[in-house]
Amino acid sequence: MKTEYEKIADLLFPDVKLTVAELLAKYPKRELKEEQLVTRFAPSPTGYVHIGNLYGAMLDKQLAEQTNGVFYLRIEDTDNKREKEGASDIVYPCLEYFLAKPDEGFVTRVKEVGDYGPYIQSRRKEYYRVFAKDLVSRGLAYPCFCGNDDGEGEDYREEQKRLGVPTGYYGRWAKCRNLTYEQIKANIEDGKNFTIRIKADGDGQRRIILHDLNRGKISVPRNFVDYVLLKSDGQALYHMAHLVDDTLMHTTLVVRDESWIPTWPLHMQLFEYMGLVAPEYLHTAQIMTKDETTGNVRKVSKRYDPWARVDFFKDNGYPAIGIKEYLLNLLNSSFEPWRRANPDAPLSEFKLSTSNLGKSGAMFDMAKLDNICKNIIGRMPGEEIYKNTLSWAEEYDKDFAKLLKEKKDYAIRVLSMDKNLVRPRKDIKAWSEVKDFYSYMFNELHKQGERKLDFDENIKLQDVVFVLEEYLRGYKHTADNNDWFEYVKQVADKCGFAPETKAYKENPEKYKGSVADVSTIVRVAVTGRRQTPNLCEIMQVLGEEETVNRIKEITNVVKMFI
């Protein structure tokens, strides 16, 4: 003899024949050791990947990787109102680009990898209904005919606010909680749509202790609100999908931001009702920034912060390894001292500790990110910079990509300048800056008519001509850096400039300037800039003919202004 609850379950789900036990058998436990974590990144396809999403995904990836576990991608597309067409297909390439490639899961709408799919929630509706039917059959969930899928905005909320009590569908406001089989059947026969709600057993007073890997023990009220689990179309809300998917996919650690803490008691209640072991939880701090207008600290916003969309960093050519390194720095306080002690170690050697994660808002600092990226590119060999710049340019600057391919060997020599220094230069933070920074090394980009005469205004133009003509008289292209600089000192002395900086500082009125001013005059003539990598090396890469021609051309231009 079936109970009334079982009869209600059959009435609501007449086509559901599978059982929870059969589903559990279909997706057996993974063959992993206890310490090997199974983590997941489960975004909603709302149009783009937010920096906060990548922040969490990076943590998921790192924790799974350092335990030889599994990191998988699941798409949570049950909210049709917010979903953007094609948005799900940008997630996997984004994670791959930013070095957080999943081991398993969703790849595209037509491709998945792994044995625990489908990895997209819209295709798992059948599973959610199996679990929902089980809950209803045991009196732990019930149909609600109040006509609202998400349980928001009902009239009772105004009364609750007026009375000063917690808002939600519970107690005397839960009108459908105790409907009989006959009442439910009559509503269905009348064509009324229904949602499925959990029958919560909290009273608003009793508290439970939850353990967070980041925050430790948290005391919260046991859930007393009858939240919606299934919408009227039979599709699950996050709460139900979380229970089902993380159970069947055998997730061992759920990483999510702190905004989910208020619904955590509901999730624990669902696992308890089903007699299942919940995964561990780690709630991260949300990413914050300082508002440039008000100076106040606020959450990152796509409306005000263009870099809130991670595409910003890809489009502008930030090195992916730099973004990963910065996010690890933002996530874990032990990363920065580790990096100082191990400046050249691969990130795979860093062991992230959940005990050192930030518990309050993580401040995103673009200046610090830029500095990290400059350090990384500064340590890269020219060949690697060439490869990355070309890859970026082929998508975002095809003319520059063509030039790089046509002059590959020369370009690598250019990008290799100043790479043998004890402390490498830090000029570039992104591949998009390579073209402008090194434009003077390519005649196609450094046209004579567009060159800047950026000479020091305190140096007379007659002296600029004097220096350049004297420099060309004895210029030896094959000289090494030491011999070249000795020659610059000789030119300085002949032209009335101090051959030693110390001498100039001690008696500046005696000289037109110092040897530094002379080298700057030559630098501007050759490159159009006052700040560049080593000038001797620049001229050697440019070649003797090009170097001499540039100096002569600029000398003639300066003479026109005298």
pLDDT of residue 120: 96
Answer whether residue 186 is part of any domain: yes
- Rounded-to-integer distance, Cα 117 and Cα 245, Å: 9
Query: Which has more confidence, 353 or 322?
Result: 322
Are 141 and 265 in a shared domain? yes
pLDDT above 70 (res 152): no
376-407 burial: b if 16+ Cβ within 10 Å, else e: bbbebebeebbebbbebbeeebeebbebbeee
Taking residues 126-130, report their average pLDDT: 98
Answer whether residue 416 is part of any domain: yes
Are 435 and 464 in a shared domain? no
Are 405 and 464 in a shared domain? no
pLDDT above 80 (res 433): yes
Are 432 and 479 in a shared domain? no
pLDDT of residue 222: 97
Query: Which has more confidence, 147 or 160?
Result: 160
Residue that terminates a domain, selected from 284, 311, 346: 284
Strand partners, 39: 71
Answer whether residue 553 is part of any domain: yes
Answer whether residue 98 is part of any domain: no
Answer whether residue 251 is part of any domain: yes
Are 400 and 480 in a shared domain? no
Are 202 and 280 in a shared domain? yes
SS3 of 107, please?
Answer: strand
Taking residues 254-259, report their average pLDDT: 94
Give the domain range for residue 238: 125-284
Answer whether residue 63 is part of any domain: no
Which of these ranges, 5-19, 122-136, 335-349, has the smallest mean pLDDT? 335-349
- Rounded-to-integer distance, Cα 152 and Cα 165, Å: 16
Taking residues 203-231, report their average pLDDT: 94
SS3 of 460, please?
Answer: coil
Query: What percentage of residues in the chain have a pLDDT greater than 90?
Result: 83
Are 157 and 265 in a shared domain? yes
Sign for the pseudo-dihedral over CA of 299, 302, 303, 306: positive
CA dihedral 548, 553, 558, 560 (to 10 degrees): 150
Spell out the residues 6+ positions from residue 437 whose beta carbon is closer than 8 angstroms to its own: 427, 428
pTM listed for this prediction: 0.89
Percent composition of the chain: helix, strand, coil (DSSP 3-state, to 5): 50, 10, 40
Asked if residues 148 and 154 have their Cβ atoms less than 8 Å apart, the reply is: yes
Residue that terminates a domain, selected from 391, 412, 441: 441
Are 425 and 517 in a shared domain? no
Are 210 and 187 in a shared domain? yes
Answer whether residue 513 is part of any domain: yes
Are 526 and 437 in a shared domain? no
Strand partners, 283: 256
List pLDDT tens digits, range 61-107.
999 999 999 999 999 998 777 667 777 999 999 999 999 999 999 99
C-alpha atoms less than 13 angstroms from C-alpha of 183 in its C-beta half-sphere = 11
pLDDT of residue 448: 45
Residue that terminates a domain, selected from 262, 284, 306: 284
Largest CA distance in the chain: 113
Q: How confident is the model at residue 449 (pLDDT cuts 50, 70, 90)?
A: very low
- Rounded-to-integer distance, Cα 119 and Cα 88, Å: 11
pLDDT above 60 (res 58): yes
List pLDDT tens digits, range 360-418.
888 999 999 999 999 999 999 999 999 999 999 999 999 999 999 999 999 999 999 98
Are 147 and 252 in a shared domain? yes
Asked if residues 474 and 501 have their Cβ atoms less than 8 Å apart, the reply is: no
pLDDT of residue 292: 79
CATH number of the domain that residue 500 is part of: 1.10.10.350
User: Mean of the per-residue pLDDT values for the chain?
Assistant: 93
Spell out the residues 6+ positions from residue 448 whose beta carbon is closer than 8 angstroms to its own: 550, 553
SS3 of 477, please?
Answer: coil
Q: How confident is the model at residue 271 (pLDDT cuts 50, 70, 90)?
A: very high
Are 480 and 400 in a shared domain? no
CATH number of the domain that residue 269 is part of: 3.40.50.620
pLDDT of residue 150: 57
Number of domains, the chain: 3
pLDDT of residue 519: 97
Q: How confident is the model at residue 512 (pLDDT cuts 50, 70, 90)?
A: very high
List pLDDT tens digits, range 285-335.
999 998 878 888 999 988 889 999 999 999 999 999 999 999 999 998 899
pLDDT above 60 (res 474): yes
Answer whether residue 420 is part of any domain: yes
Name the packing angle between helices 264-274 and 125-137 (round to 10°).
70
Sign for the pseudo-dihedral over CA of 547, 550, 556, 558: negative
SS3 of 272, please?
Answer: helix
